[in-house]
Structures are given as C-alpha cells and as structure tokens.
Amino acid sequence: MSPGVALAPLADWLLQKGLAGSASAITVQPLSGGQSNPTFRVSTDRGEYVLRKQPPGLLLASAHAIDREYRVMAALADTPVPVPRMLAWCDDASLLGTPFYLMEFLAGRGLADQSLPGAQPAERAALYGEMNRVLAALHAVDPAAVGLGDYGRSGTYVARQVARWSRQCEASTLALPPAMRRLMDWLPQHLPAHDATTVVHGDYRLDNLVFHAREPRVLGVLDWELSTLGDPLADFSYHCMSWRIPASLWRGIAGLDLRALGIPDEASYVRRYEETSGRATAPHWEFYMAYNLFRMAAILHGIAQRAADGTAAAADAVETGRKAAPLAELAWDCALRHQAATR
C-alpha cells in the first residue's frame, strides 16, 4: 500500500480507464498542500497525474466537496481560465475508501513568498500582472454558459459570509478582540446595495497557482474547495489583502519597497483589474477590504479556539491564532476609511 492509497485497486482502475498500461509501473506519492483533501502524485507508463480524495471519517455535509472541485475545473476547461485537465471521477468509495478524482499533473513552478525572492523586478511585475489577468478572466466567465448556473446562490454573498463568520465568533469561548466586536456590528450596516454574481475561487492567492517553469504564465489554478457563485469584488479584494498586511505579521507585502521589487502598488493593481474586468471597485473598496480582513481574523480566531481546546492539528496554532487581533485592527482601520470616504 502507498501512503494513504491502496495501490492494487487503484492500479486496476487506472488500467480499466486506459490511464496505465502496466500495473508494475504505477507509483503513488503524497503531495504537500491541499491538506483538507489528501492529494497524491500518480505516475504510470502513460502519464503523470494528480489524485485528490476525500479524507476518511464522518464529514460535514458541505465539507471536502471534491465533486464540486472536479465539476468547476471541468466546466472551466474551454475558457480562458487555466485549469488542469480533469481525467476521471470515481464515487465508488469501496476502491480507495472515499470518492476521488484524477487530473493531469502540471509540471511548473509553485511560488509561495509574495515578495518573490530570487526574481528580477521585471519578472515580478509580469507574474503579478498574470495573476491579475487570470482572476479577471474567471470573473468574466458566464456561469450559465459553462453549466455552473446552479453552482451557488445568486446575490447577498457578502451578507451571508458576514453572518456565517459572526456566528462562529459568537460561539467561541475565547474573548473576542474588541475590533472583532465592532466589525460584527458595523459590517451588516454597510453592505453594498448591489453585488454582482460570478464564479469565485474563494482562496485565490499566489500559492494556489502553478506557473510555467520559465515564463510568467499561469498553467493552472488549483484548490477550488471554496469556489461558488459569489461577489467578484469580494474575491478580488481577498486576493489584495496582501497589500494591507505587513510582511512581518502574516503573508503580506505591506511595508516592503514595492517599487524596488517591481511589484505594483495596490492602486495600480486595482486599476489594472478594473480596466481588464470592466468592474469599478469604488465606492466600496475599503468595505471589501474590511470584510476580508474580518473574515481572515475570524478564521484565525477559530484556530486559536482549537488550540485552546487542544484540538488544533498544527504545531504553530497558538502563534497563528494570536494574529487574529492585529488583523481585526487592520479591518477596523479599513472600516473607518470607508466611512470617511462615503460621508
């Protein structure tokens, strides 16, 4: 047995699908990343693939919905959004213990540090421009035209998200940072009157992309676990939180010499998205930033809760949870800027 996968039934299935010619040539190796859904690299004499499966055990109804991942990437295959090619879906849990799917393996670069160490300024600018282009392309896809018209609810996306994360915070036994309390009151009162509905990725960031080995070109967008129909500006502003979060705090580029690095400043990056997508971010940009920073703070507060309960999986859960309060303060600063700009 390979780690996490029974090799014999997998080999039979691959042979039946024509994805392998010899069982003896099949190897399976776990891949890092995508921790909520176990992910493996599968090598055969006919190709290199990625297998993604549900984890074992009792799951929440909406959690680990790998069928949705498969569906959205398959639907986007013939659009300008680069995604790996979906090869096969299997809902027979008797084979590997849980449902799984197989997609092509993308041989490219995985990048994580948003300052892109080792790159030249021109390459950094090109990589950021490509990230921007791909997200705008996703938001230009007509959900109904690609069979995703029923992929989620239309409208009120941010309102539903604010309510969801507020409920989680209220259920916590840990003291909430004061800024979190203020945001839970403030956000529902300042929701945009109208929100568009597109396919949204839900977690669009540098390390969920595979880039060409030498070119500043995205080969595939990965990790669609949080994708749904939602507000494209909420999706884009989530991607832009990095400009507000200090590099010394958590996954941010605020405070870095962006000009020297060749990374566009926030205003330039937002303007490029507006020009490409045809969507205006004003007058609610600061609201969307407040919302996303609140959402991230709520997620980290949840990690702190699990650490306090002794159920956190990560060794650094306590330290990660401590970042909730400063993120909430950043969110409240955005809320105040929104109020000042819309008076």
| pLDDT tens track for 276-308 | 999 999 999 999 999 999 999 998 998 888 888
pLDDT tens per residue across span 5-49: 889 999 999 999 999 999 999 999 998 754 467 899 999 999 999
CA–CA dist 328, 306 (Å, integer): 19
DSSP class of 77: T
Superfamily of domain 109-342: Aminoglycoside phosphotransferase (APH), C-terminal lobe (3.90.1200.10)
Q: What is the CATH number of domain 7-104?
A: 3.30.200.20
Strand spans (E) along the chain: 27-30, 39-44, 47-53, 86-90, 100-104, 109-110, 198-200, 209-211, 218-221, 228-230
CA–CA dist 3, 40 (Å, integer): 9
DSSP string, 195-230: ---EEE-SS--GGGEEE-SSSS-EEEE---TT-EEE
Give the pair of three-digit tokens for residue 109: 């670069």
pLDDT at 303: 86
Do the beta carbons of residue 19 and residue 47 sit within 8 Å?
yes
Give the pair of three-digit tokens for residue 84: 């790996």
The structural domains of the chain, with segments of one domain joined by +, span 7-104, 109-342
Closest by alpha carbon to 293, among 251, 231, 341? Answer: 251
Report pTM: 0.92
